[in-house]
Structure 1
Amino acid sequence: METTKVRKRIFLSSPHMSDEGYEMQYIKEAFDTNWIAPLGENVNGFERELAAKVGSKAAAALSSGTAAIHMALKAAGVGEGDIVFCQSLTFSATANPIIYQNAIPVFIDSNYETWNMCPKALEEAFEKYPNVKAVIVVHLYGLSADMDKIVELCKKHNVVLIEDAAESLGTYYKGKHTGTFGDYGIFSFNGNKIITTSGGGMLVSNNEERIAKVRFWATQSRDQARHYQHSELGFNYRMSNVVAGIGRGQLKVLDQRVAKKRYIYEFYKNELGELDGVEFMPSNQWNEPNYWLSSMTLSGNVRPIDVMEALEQENIESRPVWKPMHLQPFFKKYDFVGSDVAEKLFENGVCLPSDTKMTDGDLVRVCKTIKGLWKK
């Protein structure tokens, strides 16, 4: 019987371990010393090394980026009934921790210049809601938000600023790492991120006292006592020593991964940028993105679903741009400030495969498939 050969799967963004085996060196050390869990030198080392990499004074290694946002909100004093401004165009993990704290999200629109929080919409939100506890800005797909204006507004209104840099480790805004402009910054090491620990996150801040408090909360708020004593609500949010070992190894190849992501973006832009109705995600002079996912919008007859279905037929993974939070069934009861930019980006956007293991042959295959839609 004749069989059809299945073409090699091209992933959107899959884990990519170092060729040098850095990760295994740290994992082996954890096994050799029997520091599997909890905590250990890999956790301490990962915190030190990542903080040094991004230029922050302190860091807490946690079980996920979501946990890091949750702890940032708690450290900021966000509680029941407090209002938190949150970028609407993002993944739900940005907004869910607001609900964990029984606070009230108000979603803020994006602009086309950055695809991230619109400073004008943020200013309008401050006028509408003068009593705000915190602002969560996102650096979507590795593109930095317009941080000067956002920082200025938060300082003017004396509001805590939290940066969701889950997708932007290695991105610079005016020569400074994203995640270090606000009071708190968070990074994710999920399997699809630019570097991974299989799962995990990091909270960074220049407020060393608050980071120490987060470590305490994240370790079940266990008091200094011979017996198990808890004077505050605790959380099981600390990163394991084995996972942190993977992170230490991955951090050594971050710059290589950013370079490859940039190469992928430029390849797509050169090959597809002249197609009718195609526009790639914005780049600004002050922004050095990590290009975590190369994304484009379509305004012609070819629609995002056409691209995604054509790619899937060739065993190539892609996905839509995030559906804004204010359009999500769970969050639709909360207020939204802005126009329709986030909605339009969702309707017209598609994320192309941006896996750092892709070869030029893989990239050609993706582009050939997409170009075929314009020849029909």
Structure 2
Amino acid sequence: MRSQDYDRLYLSPPHLGRHELNYLHKAIEDNWVAPVGPNLDGFERDICEFTGAGHCVALSSGTAAIHLGLRLLGVGPGDEVLCPSFTFVATANPILYLGARPIFVDSEAETWNICPERLREALEDMQRQNRRPKALILVHLYGMPCRLREVLAVAQEFGVPVLEDAAEALGSRYEGQPLSTFGEVGVFSFNGNKILTTSGGGALVTNRPDWAEKVRFWATQARDPAPHYQHSELGYNYRLSNLLAGIGRGQMELLADRVKKRREIYAWYQEHLRAVPGLTLGPQEPTHGQSNRWLSCVLLNPTEMAVTPEQLRLHLETHNIESRPLWKPLHLQPLFAEAPMYGGSVCTNLFVHGLCLPSGSSMQESDLHRVADALRGILLT
């Protein structure tokens, strides 16, 4: 069959239920279409209840949350911020927003997240030069918990505060504790392709009430308490709208089912693709970690097969199946060409040899068979 004979199978499309409409209808009936309102307050409470965080501020994007989180940690012009290279650009862009400088660190091969050994190498090197980073951004890539205890131990030893980028990891846990609650500040994204979506949006969580209050202040244009419009600090238009928060409230009711389905999809791929030589699924869960399996990814071993990830991606396109390369490391991006990098071979190899497969929680078993059949059609010939 030709590709146009198939419906498009997307990588990670939004998956809405009926719950979201209840909150949207109520907001419209009550005329709560202004930026703030009951849905916004309720959505923040829902996130706190799920994560155990003391305070949540819902924002317009995960990027905005990282930006304000770094500002909370005192990052400013001329400062240095440690960051994994293997991540989406939104993790590091806010470092530049604040006039600071990213210092990139390689991944480790198990979880694909920041390597504790390379992190220590970076911190020891900076210490020898009498330089101290202002913060560490810790990312849980593809929903996979990093080696948290090891990374946090290194950060604590060198006195570096942690911003925990759990943009892709809502519903993931480490030692039973929800991700986003291990650092001084935690961040989520609710973009359209995430496991939970508000169409576009994000959130910052913290246990410090003064920090949550400050973020709300900055996110609403930093308007001083006065009858007129008065501003003593730089602010931003970063608050999530009450309508989008209503979508989020409905989505939160479905989160446990969404995580269960994504984990089942990963397990299905693992079972049905295990016989394909040179193909492995990843990343791997660390000891005591549980991933939401936001995206199921594969690595192709070039010593066992001649097909490249790009050839595989183009082959899947002929079946109207969307796939995507793994993140291109930030130290290889022209934007960050001058940024220091510690290590680099692990995340570069992941990018060269990896591909993300369709993983949406609305997938049916027939969709999974379609992906697996297409993969076998090129990899086993």
TM category (shorter chain) comes to over 0.9
The aligned residue for residue 229 of structure 1 is 230
Name the CA distance, whole Å, in 2 between partners of 1:306 and 1:251: 38
Task: Kindly indicate whether residue 264 of structure 2 is the aligned counterpart of residue 263 of structure 1.
Answer: yes
Secondary structure, counterpart of 2:335 in structure 1: coil
Q: Aligned with 1:84: secondary structure?
A: strand
Residue number in structure 2 paired with 1:89: 86
1:14 aligns with 2:13: yes
Aligned partner of residue 78 in structure 1, secondary structure: coil
- CA shift for structure 1 position 286: 1.3
- How many Å separate the matches in 2 of 1:240 and 1:374? 46
Matches within 5 A, 1:263-342: 263-281=264-282, 282-299=284-301, 300-342=305-347
Question: Contact between 2:276 and 2:380, CA under 8 Å: does it hold in 1?
Answer: no
Aligned partners of 2:76 and 2:338: how far apart in 1?
19
Distance (whole Å) between structure 2 residues aligned to residue 279 and residue 188 of structure 1 = 28
Q: For residues 102-131 of structure 1, what are the alpha-carbon distances to aligned partners after superposition, in whole Å with 9 as ceiling and x for unaligned?
A: 001000100002100000010011112231
Give CA-to-partner distance per residue, 1:185-221, whole Å, 9 cap, x none.
Answer: 1000000000100000000011121111000000000
- The alpha-carbon deviation at position 32 of structure 1 amounts to 1.1
CA distance in structure 2 between the partners assigned to 1:226 and 1:168 by the alignment:
41
TM-score norm. by structure 1 comes to: 0.97
TM-score calculated relative to the size of structure 2: 0.96
Given the alignment of the two structures, is residue 114 of structure 1 paired with residue 115 of structure 2, yes or no? Answer: no
After superposition, the Cα gap between the structure-2 partners of 1:5 and 1:216, relative to the gap in structure 1 and judged at 3 Å, is closer
What's the counterpart of residue 144 of structure 1?
A: 145
In the alignment, residue 67 of structure 1 is paired with which amino acid?
A
Say which SS state the counterpart of residue 132 (structure 1) adopts. Answer: coil
Q: How does 1:162-311 map to 2 (within 5 A)?
A: 162-281=163-282, 282-299=284-301, 300-311=305-316
Provide closer, same or farther for how the CA distance between residues 245 and 4 of structure 1 changes in structure 2, counting only shifts above 3 A.
closer
Moved over 6 A (4+): none
Deviation at 1:250, TM superposition (A): 0.2
- The residue that corresponds to 2:40 in the other structure is 43
Q: How far apart in 2 are the matches of 1:253 and 1:273?
A: 30
Which residue of the partner structure matches residue 30 of structure 2?
Answer: 33
**Code of the aligned partner of 2:226:** A
Give ranges in structure 1 of 5+ residues lacking alignment: none
Amino acid at match of 1:211: A
1:4 Cα deviation after fit: 8.6
What amino acid does structure 1 have at the position aligned with 2:16?
M
Counterparts of 1:354 and 1:163, CA distance in 2: 24
Post-superposition CA distance 1:69-120 (Å, at most 9, x none): 0000001110001010001000000000000000010001000021000000
Q: List gaps (5 residues or longer) in structure 2.
A: none
Please report the RMSD computed on the Cα atoms of aligned residues, expressed in angstroms: 1.1
Give the 3-state SS of the residue equivalent to 1:129 in structure 2. helix
Give the structure 2 partner of residue 72 of structure 1: 69
Structure 1 residue 164 displacement after superposition: 0.8
Aligned residues: 372
